[in-house]
Amino acid sequence: MSAKPTAPDSGLQQLKDQGLEVEVRQQHLLVHSVPYVTMQRQIARATIVCKYMENGDSILAPNSNSDNHQVWWTGDFPCRADGKPLRELVDSTVETPAVPVDGCSTKFQFSNKPEEWMQTGFADHFDKITHYVMLIESQAQAIDPDVTAYTRKIVESTDSESVFRYADTASVRSEIVAVSNRLKGLKVGIVGAGGTGAYILDQVVKTPVAEIHIFDGDDFKQHNAFRAPGAASREEIAAHMKKVDYFRKVYDPMRKGIEPHPYFIDATNVSELESFDFVFISVDKGPARKLISDYLRSMAIPFVDVGMDVDLDSDTLLLDGTCRVTASTKSKYDHLAACLPTAEDDEDALYRKNIQIADLNALNAQLAVIKWKQMFGFYEDAARAHQIVFTVATTSVAREERSAGRG
């Protein structure tokens, strides 16, 4: 979603009115065709890039905590008219990491603030951009007085349709848009929307995946409210909604692409998972886990299976147990038979023993989501563990079944 060009504090319209080639893309402001001098004293053109972040119906000023006076630059390092580096822009002419904007490859980050704005910072993006344009362009004009950044060319925005109903400014603030984009476009399935599955969903909806499909045939009941993110109202509990419909309603104000499936996965419909890029399995029955994991394995679809085993000690009245995360990838799946509990369950015994605590559900979900993000290059994964077990009593994590590499 592009930042709103009519925002009263943005300075964007002023930049356009002055004739600069301005574009807003992924919460960044791009100013194209800025002339500069190369080391060979030739005139070239490049793009200035800076953050341009929404905050409700306005744009955060450049002097806010989430923004600053710095900009990025796509060209070679700008020089003076004599070919010497324009060192006022930055202390070093060494290339810096690229700005996290699709289709925009930057080389340098500049830092320069005029004396009058040293204490307060730039008033708006108009002041910030025109300051940098003047510094860089003036050296080019010393060689060719007719060259200018104010071309009056209109640039069409190249922003793709976002899955979010409002912009992901969290990734922009942290400068990890490029990292987050590694999850972009994925079709993800979540089989089971119980305590752990609900917390998995809570995290996945905040990523740029294209589609999230939730499978569960149960109703959302009162006990579910105590094991799910957020706070359900009495009216929502009384409505006897399907879990998947309830969670779609909860997260729909934030994003698109959430598809509820109000039924369980079984032998008649497991093929519906065929088109997914990744699947989270969060079920409490062994045979269902076996059916789903076997199918995904046969289709070479990566997945993470989660499980909790919590018991109450009748003597101490203390809870102890484990949270398990088991991953399967194209290169590592020989551990599944030993790691996945797939035996037939005694349903009465299961529900007497199946103690679910929201914090452990949430922890189990977070471990699963972290593993998923490692598998898709969001997080570093030095251990390559495909089996992770957290033990409550020792608050320890064991990493097992390691892989030699990604995939």
For the segment 217-273, what is each residue's pLDDT rounded down to a tens digit?
999 999 999 999 999 999 999 999 999 999 999 999 999 999 999 999 999 999 999
For the segment 128-147, what is each residue's pLDDT rounded down to a tens digit?
999 999 999 999 999 999 99
Closest CA to 332 of 290, 370, 387, 380: 387
For the segment 30-41, what is each residue's pLDDT rounded down to a tens digit?
999 999 999 999
Domains recognised in the chain with CATH numbers: 12-160 (no CATH), 185-402 (3.40.50.720)
What band does 101 get if pLDDT is binned at 50, 70 and 90? confident
Residues 6+ apart with CB under 8 A from 398: 388, 389, 391
What band does 58 get if pLDDT is binned at 50, 70 and 90? confident
DSSP output for 17-39: HHT-EEEEETTEEEEEEEEEE-T
* Mean of pLDDT values over 101-110: 84
For the segment 307-355, what is each residue's pLDDT rounded down to a tens digit?
999 989 889 999 999 999 999 999 899 999 999 998 876 554 444 456 8
369 pLDDT above the threshold of 50: yes
Residues 345 and 353: beta-carbon distance below 8 Å: no
**Tokens 């951009």 map to which residue?**
129
* Mean of pLDDT values over 388-398: 95
φ/ψ of 384, rounded to 5, equals 55, 35
394: number of Cβ within 10 Å: 9
Where residue 210 falls (left for φ over 0; alpha for ψ -120 to 50; beta otherwise) is: alpha
pLDDT at site 375: 96
d(CA 254, CA 248): 10
pLDDT at site 3: 38
φ/ψ of 278, rounded to 5, equals -160, 150
pLDDT at site 231: 95
pTM of the model: 0.74
85 pLDDT above the threshold of 60: yes
pLDDT at site 6: 38
* Mean of pLDDT values over 110-123: 75
* Mean of pLDDT values over 362-380: 97
Tally: H helices and E strands in the chain: 12, 15
* Mean of pLDDT values over 186-197: 97
pLDDT at site 115: 72
160 pLDDT above the threshold of 80: no
5 pLDDT above the threshold of 50: no
d(CA 114, CA 317): 66
Q: Strand order in 187-191's β-sheet?
A: 258-261, 211-215, 187-191, 278-281, 303-312, 319-328, 385-391, 396-402
pLDDT at site 176: 83
